[in-house]
């Protein structure tokens, strides 16, 4: 079974919101769901998978500035703050801390609901540590 975990974390690398999709599903579906949970954010740092015009427009409507590099297939280059984008390592650190949990890293649970609950349990502990 292949799944993809979409997450929002704060500037300290603590998980705030998690959403799981099937592995073959595009990042845009996870972005659409997580977009609803963004409240009072100033910036959103994302990777190339979240570069879509509709997503950038939706963020702009909410008053959130996006810092995502453009996809390689995009004809016009997208300008973004490279210094700020380097701080995206916080989300990678959060995923690494989730994988410190053996059950999450080795994917013992084949049922997606049980796997997401194990991730949620690990995220709760990570949030408070």
In the numeric block, the tokens 């916080």 are attached to 90
Indicate the number of domains in the chain.
1
CA dihedral 27, 2, 73, 82 (to 10 degrees): 60
The reported pLDDT for the residue numbered 2 is: 83
Select from 20, 15, 45 the least CA-distant residue to 129.
Answer: 15
pTM given for the model: 0.81
How far apart are alpha carbons 111 and 40 in whole angstroms?
Answer: 34
Query: Helix, strand or coil for residue 32?
Result: helix
**Interval 57-84: pLDDT, tens:** 888 898 888 888 877 777 777 788 888 8
Name the more confident of 34 and 117.
Answer: 117
Domain range for 56 is 3-128
Confidence class of residue 117 from pLDDT cuts 50, 70 and 90? very high
Report pLDDT digits (tens) over 29-55.
888 888 888 877 888 888 887 888 888
Read off the pLDDT band of 122 (50, 70, 90).
Answer: very high
pLDDT score of 1: 62
Closest alpha carbon to 83 in 93, 96, 69: 69
Identify the CA nearest to 50 among candidates 81, 73, 27.
27
Token look-up 């845009």 returns 28
Q: Check which CATH number belongs to the domain holding 66 and give it.
A: 3.30.420
Q: For 66, what's the count of Cα atoms within 13 Å in the CB-facing half-sphere?
A: 24
Query: Cα–Cα distance between 15 and 67 in angstroms, integer?
Result: 19
């Amino acid at each position: 079974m292949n799944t993809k975990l979409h997450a929002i974390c704060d500037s300290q690398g603590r998980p705030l919101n998690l959403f799981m999709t099937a592995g073959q599903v595009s990042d845009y579906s996870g972005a659409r769901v997580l977009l609803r949970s963004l409240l009072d954010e100033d910036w959103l740092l994302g990777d190339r998978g979240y570069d879509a015009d509709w997503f950038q427009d939706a963020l702009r409507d909410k008053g959130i500035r996006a810092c995502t590099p453009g996809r390689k297939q995009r004809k016009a280059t997208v300008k973004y703050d490279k210094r700020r984008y380097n701080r995206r390592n916080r989300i990678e650190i959060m995923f690494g801390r989730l994988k410190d949990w053996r059950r999450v890293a080795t994917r013992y649970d084949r049922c997606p609901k049980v796997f997401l609950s194990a991730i949620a349990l690990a995220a709760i502990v990570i949030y408070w540590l």
